[in-house]
Structure 1
Amino acid sequence: MPIVLSGYLKLGDAVIITDQDHRILDINRYYEQTTGYSRDSIIGFKAGFLKSGLTPAATYTSLKSEMKRGNPWSGVFTNRKKSGEIWHSSITITPIQLENKLYFVGIFRELEQLKEGIYLSEKKRAETQRELLKVLAISCEIRDPGIEEHLLRVQTLSEKLVYMHDRRMQLKLSESYKSHIAHASILHDIGKAEIPEGILYKPGPLSPYERKIIEMHPLMGADILNKISREINNEVISSLEVAENIILYHHEKWDGTGYPHRLKGEEIPLEARITAIVDVFDALTSRRAYKDSWSVARALSFLNEQKGKHFDPDMVESFFNYFDERGE
C-alpha cells in the first residue's frame, strides 16, 4: 500500500483502506475498537465480510453506481461486529488513483456512539411515528369497537387527498409536511375520549347543552395532545403542530359557521381542511348504529352541495379528481 495513504489511518474515525477489488489493505485502531476485529485478522479479506444483510439493496446499488463513475459516495450501512452485535455507521468511501492503481478509503462513524440524540433513518422514523399515532388514536377511542377501521380509512384517504391536492394546485408541499398530515389525521377525534358516553352515544337529538359539550371535543383533544407531547421524544414524533391543527380545526367550516373558533376560509389550516372532507365522507359512507351507509355517489353529491359552505371548494375538486382517477 502506498505510504501516502497511511495518513488517513491517523484520523479520529474508523478508517478502512482497500484495493480495487475491495480487499482490505489496512485499518486503523478506531476501526478495530468499533468492529472488534484486529488488524492482522482481517487484512486480505473482502470488505463485504461485515455485511449483516440488513442494509437496503438500494444502498449498495447507489454505492456501485458512484464507484463506477469514480465518484466518492456517502451513505448509511448496517453491519455486524465480531461479537455479532449490529452497528449503524455513516460512511464516506472515496476512490483514489495512485501509480495507475485504484484504492478506496472508507471513513466510518458509528451512529450509536453519537454523544447526543438518537439515529433513525427517515423511513424508520416515519413508520414509528405512524404506528405511535395509531396506538394513541385508538387508545383514546377504545370505547367504540368499530372506530379503528374509520380512523385507518381517514388516515389512508387523507394521504391520497393531500398528494392529489398538492399536484393539482401545484403547491409544492414538502414530503415531510404531506407525511405529517397523513400520519396525524388519525388523531382528529381523540378529544371524544373526554365526552361522557351518555352524550357521545345518545340515540336521539342532543339538547343545546349536550351539543355544546360535543363541540368542546376539539379543545379537549388539543389538551390531550399537549399533555402527551411533553412526554414524547421529539426525535421520534415530530411536527405535532400539524396534529394539533387537525384536532382543533377539522370541524371549522369554510363559511365560518363551524366550531370551536368560527374560522373562515383560508384561516383554517390546510391539514384541517383535508381531514374535514375525508372525515365527513367516510362517516357518510359507513354504516353506523343510527344510520345506513350512503353510496359513494350520494356522498360525493353532498360534498359538492357543501362546496364553499362547509368545505374548501378547491379541496372538494381535488377530492373529486382522486375519484375520477380511480374511475369512480
Structure 2
Amino acid sequence: MPDFLYYDSLAGIDPDRSWQDNLEICRAQILRYRPGLDRISLVLYEEEGGRLRTFTAVPQSDNPLTNYDFPLEESASLLACVTARCPRLINDMDIFAEGENDHTRVIRENGYRSSFTFPIFTRDKLYGILFFNSRQSDYFQGEVLEQTDLVGHIIEQVAINYQNRLRSISAAVQSAISMVNYRDPETGNHLKRMAGFARLIARDLAAKGKHRLTDEQIDLIYQFAPMHDVGKIGIPDEILLKNAGFSTDEWELMKQHTTIGRQIIEQLIDNFHFQKLPFIDYLRDIAELHHEKLDGSGYPHGYRGGEVPLPARIIAVSDIFDALTCKRPYKAAWTNRDALEELKRMAEEGKLDADCVAALIENIDEVIAIQIFYRDE
C-alpha cells in the first residue's frame, strides 16, 4: 500500500510549549533549506516606557543577549521598521560598525553578519520584534528569505495566540482584583510597583547566577505578580477594611486569602485549559505562597527553606517592601532606607530570601525609578 503520510516539520509548534521550544522548531525548518541560521530571538515591547526587552532566543547556549532592555526610539532602523510595519533586511551588519547601541555591538562582536527583523503586532499594537541572525553575510536571499518571512508570519500567529491566552487569564484575574480595589483603597499603584520590584529582583538573581531564570520566566513572574492577592475577594469587608489590629479569629480568616486565591487560580486554569501553559505553577505559587517565610513562621502551610518556591520568595520581598514604603490610613510611609533595613533584618532572621533583599538594596536607583513612575497621586 502506498505511503500517503507526510512529515509535517512544523506540527510541533504548540502554545502549550515554551517559547524557546517553539522557536527551535522554526529554526530547524529553515535549516532544512540552508545551513546558517544561527539565532532566532524575540524581544517584547513594553508600552509603558516604550522599551524593548529580551524574552527568549535559540539556541539558548549561544545567546549573547539576555536580561537586557533598551528604548525603541534609540534605534532608528528598528523604529522605522515598526513604524512602517514591515520587516527589516540587513545582509551586512558592518553598516552598524559605528553604532552606539549595546545590542548592536554585542551582536556584531559575536560574529553575526546578517539579520532579518520582523515586527509582531497584536490588536494593532506592537507586541515585540523577532530577529533572525546568521554569521554569514548575504544569508537572507531567495528561497531562504521567503522561508524566513513565512516562518516569521507563523511565529506572529503563535505570539497572538499566546498573548490572547495570557490576556484571558490576566483579564479574568484583574476583574477580580478590581473588585478588591473598590473595597480596599490601599492598593492604588501598589500592584504595578511590586510587579516592577519583582522583575528587578528576578533579573538581578539571573544576572548574578544565583538562580537559572530565563527571560521568559522573568517575564511571567512580572506578569503574574499583580495577581498575588486575588484571594482577598473572598474576605469580608469588616476584616479586609479594618484599620485596627485583628482578633485571633479575624487573623485566621484574613490568612485564608492565600488558599482562596489558589482556588480561584485553579478554577481559571481549568476553565481556560491552561494546565499545560509553561510555568503556570508560578501563578499558583504566587497566589498561595507569597506569605510563607523561610523559617516556617509564614502561612498558609508553614513551609521552610527550599519548600518555598522562588517566585513566592520574590513576591514576598516585593510586597513587604512596597507595603512598608507606602502611606496607609493606619501608618506613615517608611523611608526606603528604613524599609530596606527591616527587610535585611528579616533576612538575617531567616524569614526572607537574602539574595532577593540584596537585589533591592544594590539596585536602589531602579527601585526609586519604579516608585516615581508608579507613584500614588
Q: Decide whether the 8 Å contact of 2:324 with 2:333 is kept in 1.
A: yes
SS, match of residue 146 in structure 2: strand
> Would the alpha carbon gap of residues 208 and 231 (structure 1) be closer, same or farther in structure 2, given more than 3 Å must change?
same
Q: Decide whether the 8 Å contact of 2:89 with 2:117 is kept in 1.
A: no
In 1, the alpha carbon distance for the partners of 2:307 and 2:246 equals: 29
2:221 is aligned to: 181
Q: What amino acid is aligned across from residue 315 of structure 1 in structure 2?
A: C
1:53 is aligned to: 84
1:47 is aligned to: none
Q: What amino acid is aligned across from residue 104 of structure 1 in structure 2?
A: G
Structure 2 residue corresponding to 1:225, chosen from 239, 245, 265: 265
Residue 298 (structure 2) pairs with residue 258 (structure 1): yes
Q: Decide whether the 8 Å contact of 1:52 with 1:78 is kept in 2.
A: no
> Would the alpha carbon gap of residues 112 and 174 (structure 1) be closer, same or farther in structure 2, given more than 3 Å must change?
closer
Structure 1 residue corresponding to 2:174, chosen from 109, 130, 135: 135
Q: What amino acid is aligned across from residue 178 of structure 1 in structure 2?
A: I
> Would the alpha carbon gap of residues 96 and 235 (structure 1) be closer, same or farther in structure 2, given more than 3 Å must change?
farther
In 2, the alpha carbon distance for the partners of 1:186 and 1:303 equals: 20
Q: Shift of residue 148 of structure 1?
A: 3.6
SS, match of residue 352 in structure 2: coil
In 1, the alpha carbon distance for the partners of 2:119 and 2:336 equals: 47
SS, match of residue 107 in structure 1: helix
2:195 is aligned to: 155
Q: Decide whether the 8 Å contact of 1:137 with 1:186 is kept in 2.
A: no
Structure 1 residue corresponding to 2:344, chosen from 304, 314, 321: 304
1:104 is aligned to: 142
Q: Decide whether the 8 Å contact of 1:242 with 1:271 is kept in 2.
A: yes
In 2, the alpha carbon distance for the partners of 1:96 and 1:323 equals: 45
Q: What amino acid is aligned across from residue 318 of structure 1 in structure 2?
A: A
In 2, the alpha carbon distance for the partners of 1:64 and 1:236 equals: 41
> Would the alpha carbon gap of residues 54 and 127 (structure 1) be closer, same or farther in structure 2, given more than 3 Å must change?
farther
Deviations 1:272-298 (A, max 9, x none): 111101101111111111111111111
2:362 is aligned to: 321
Deviations 1:92-140 (A, max 9, x none): 9x9999xxxxx723535868998xx952269967995896477346335
Alignment of 1:232-251 (within 5 A): 232=272, 234=274, 238-251=278-291
1:119 is aligned to: 158
Q: Shift of residue 246 of structure 1?
A: 1.0
> Would the alpha carbon gap of residues 63 and 223 (structure 1) be closer, same or farther in structure 2, given more than 3 Å must change?
farther
SS, match of residue 141 in structure 1: helix
Q: Shift of residue 243 of structure 1?
A: 1.1
Q: Decide whether the 8 Å contact of 1:63 with 1:73 is kept in 2.
A: yes
> Would the alpha carbon gap of residues 146 and 130 (structure 1) be closer, same or farther in structure 2, given more than 3 Å must change?
farther
The sequence identity of aligned pairs, in percent, is 25
> Would the alpha carbon gap of residues 78 and 168 (structure 1) be closer, same or farther in structure 2, given more than 3 Å must change?
closer
Larger Rg: 1 or 2? Answer: 1
SS, match of residue 239 in structure 1: coil
Q: Decide whether the 8 Å contact of 1:128 with 1:236 is kept in 2.
A: no
Q: Decide whether the 8 Å contact of 2:269 with 2:275 is kept in 1.
A: no
In 1, the alpha carbon distance for the partners of 2:321 and 2:120 equals: 43
SS, match of residue 363 in structure 2: helix
SS, match of residue 205 in structure 1: coil
> Would the alpha carbon gap of residues 183 and 242 (structure 1) be closer, same or farther in structure 2, given more than 3 Å must change?
same
Moved more, 247-256 or 306-315: 306-315
List gaps (5 residues or longer) in structure 1.
1-50, 80-90, 98-102
Alignment of 1:282-297 (within 5 A): 282-297=322-337
Please, what is the CA RMSD of the aligned residues? 4.5
1:205 is aligned to: 245
> Would the alpha carbon gap of residues 134 and 170 (structure 1) be closer, same or farther in structure 2, given more than 3 Å must change?
same
In 2, the alpha carbon distance for the partners of 1:167 and 1:258 equals: 28
Q: What amino acid is aligned across from residue 281 of structure 1 in structure 2?
A: F
Moved more, 228-237 or 176-185: 228-237
Q: Which has the higher contact order (CA 8 A, sep 6+)?
A: 2
In 2, the alpha carbon distance for the partners of 1:198 and 1:151 equals: 22
TM-score (norm 2): 0.57
Q: Decide whether the 8 Å contact of 1:188 with 1:250 is kept in 2.
A: yes
List gaps (5 residues or longer) in structure 2.
1-81, 95-110, 122-131, 370-377
Alignment of 1:274-285 (within 5 A): 274-285=314-325
Size of the alignment, in residue pairs? 260
Q: What amino acid is aligned across from residue 216 of structure 2 in structure 1?
A: S
Q: What amino acid is aligned across from residue 284 of structure 2 in structure 1?
A: E
Q: Shift of residue 53 of structure 1?
A: 2.6
In 1, the alpha carbon distance for the partners of 2:358 and 2:137 equals: 52
Q: What amino acid is aligned across from residue 311 of structure 1 in structure 2?
A: L
